[in-house]
Amino acid sequence: MITMCSSSGLLSAILLGYFLRLLQLLSTCLAFSLVASVGTWMGAVSNWSVFIWCFCFLLTLIILIIEFCGLQSRFPFSWYNFLITYACYAALLCTSASIVYPITYIWFFPHGRSQDHAIAATAFSCIASVAYASEAAWARTWVWLGVITGYMVTVPGLLKGLETFVAGVIFAFIIDSHLYLHQPALVWCVAVYSICFLLAATALLLNWCDCDNRLPIAFPTFLLGLTLLSVLLYTTALVLWPLYQFDEQFGGQPEWSSCNDGLIYSLCTWDQRLAVAILTAINLLIYVVDLVFLAHMVFSRTEDQLRGSQFPLLYKS
C-alpha cells in the first residue's frame, strides 16, 4: 500500500504530478496532431506511433480529471501504484515511438512540410518520453525519502513491468500469423510469449488489487516460481524461434531480403523475424535478472527467519 508521511510532501507530490501531466498532455497532443495534419499518418508503423500518442494523451487526461474530482479512492486498486505503472509504460511506449517513427519515415520524406512536421512530432514525442520518465524517476526519489512506498517502485515491480512491455512489442511484430502458423515449434514460441505475459500481468494485477497478501504462500516466493517458469519457457523460445526462422534445414531463411519499397510503410518479414529473436533474448535476460533478484530476496529472508528461530535456543542453553 501507499503511505504519505507529511502534508508538505503530499502537496509537493501533487504539484509536481500536475506539472508533469500537463507537459505530457501538451507534448502527446502536438505529436499526433502534427502527424495527422499533413497526411503522414499511413502504414502500420505510423498507425502504431499515432495510437501510442493518442492513447497516452487520453489516459493522462482521464487521470487528471479523476484527480481534480477526487475520485481516486473509489477505485478497487492502489491508485499510486497505478500511476507509477502507467508512467513507466508510457515512457517506454513514447520512447519506442520516438525511435521507430523517425527511423521508418523521416529519412524517406522529401524536404518540405511533411518532413518538418514529422521531425517536430518526433521532438514532441521525445519530450513526452522525458516527462513520463521524470514522473517515474520522481516516484523513485520519494521512495528513497520515505514519502511513498509501493511494489511498482521496487526493482521487482519495475522488472515485471518491463517484461510485459517487451512481450507487448513482440506481439506487435508477430501480428501477422504467417510468420509462425506454418511450424508447430513457432506456434509454441508464440504460446510461450502469451503465457509469460499473462503470468507477469497476473503478478501485477494481484498487487494493484491488494490481493498479494491473500496468497497461501509469501508473495516473493510466488513471484520466484512464476519467474523461474518464465525463464524456462523463454529459453525454449530463444532456441526454437531463430532455429526455425533462419536455418534452412528447418525451413528458415538465413539471408536478409529487401522489401523493394520506395517508402517503407511496414517492416519486411525477415526484419520482423529478426526483431522477435532479439526481443526474445532481451526479455530472457530481464527474466534472468528478475529471477536472481527474487532468489536473493527469498533466500535472504529465509536465512533471517532461521537465525531468528535459533537465537532463543542459544539463549536457553
- Give the start-to-end residue ranges of the domains of the chain: 16-150, 154-253+269-304
Interacting residues of 208 by C-beta distance below 8 A, sequence separation 6+? 77, 78, 81, 82, 85
Beta-carbon neighbour count of residue 194 at 10 Å?
13
Q: What average pLDDT score do residues 70-81 get?
A: 76
pLDDT band, very low/low/confident/very high, at 230 (cuts 50, 70, 90): very high
7 pLDDT above the threshold of 60:
no
Q: What cell numbers appear for 178 in the block?
A: 504467417
In the prediction, which pLDDT does 147 show? 53
In the prediction, which pLDDT does 138 show? 79
Among 64, 3, 2, which Cα is nearest to 29's? 64
Give the best-scoring range by mean pLDDT among 2-6, 109-113, 172-176: 172-176
CB 162 within 8 A of CB 217: no
CA end-to-end span of the chain, whole Å?
41
Q: What average pLDDT score do residues 183-207 get?
A: 90
Residue 42, CA distances (Å) to 47, 48, 260 in order: 6, 10, 18
Q: How far apart are CA 275 and CA 271, in angstroms?
A: 6
pLDDT in tens, 15-68: 777 888 899 999 999 998 888 876 655 566 677 888 899 999 999 999 989 988
Residue 21, CA distances (Å) to 15, 18, 287 in order: 10, 5, 31
In the prediction, which pLDDT does 176 show? 76
Interacting residues of 187 by C-beta distance below 8 A, sequence separation 6+? 180, 181
pLDDT in tens, 140-168: 666 665 555 666 667 788 888 889 989 98
Give the residue carrying C-alpha cell 512491455: 165
H/E/C letters for each residue in the chain? CCCCCCHHHHHHHHHHHHHHHHHHHHHHHHHHHHHHHCCCCCCHHHHHHHHHHHHHHHHHHHHHHHHHHCCHHHCCCCHHHHHHHHHHHHHHHHHHHHHHHHHHCHHHCCCCHHHHHHHHHHHHHHHHHHHHHHHHHHHHHHHHHCCCCCHHHCHHHHHHHHHHHHHHHHHHHCCCHHHCCCCHHHHHHHHHHHHHHHHHHHHHHHHHCCCHHHCCCCHHHHHHHHHHHHHHHHHHHHHHHHHHHHCHHHCCCCCCCCCCCCCCCCCCHHHHHHHHHHHHHHHHHHHHHHHHHHHHHHHHHHHHHHHHHHHHHHHHC
pTM over 0.85: no
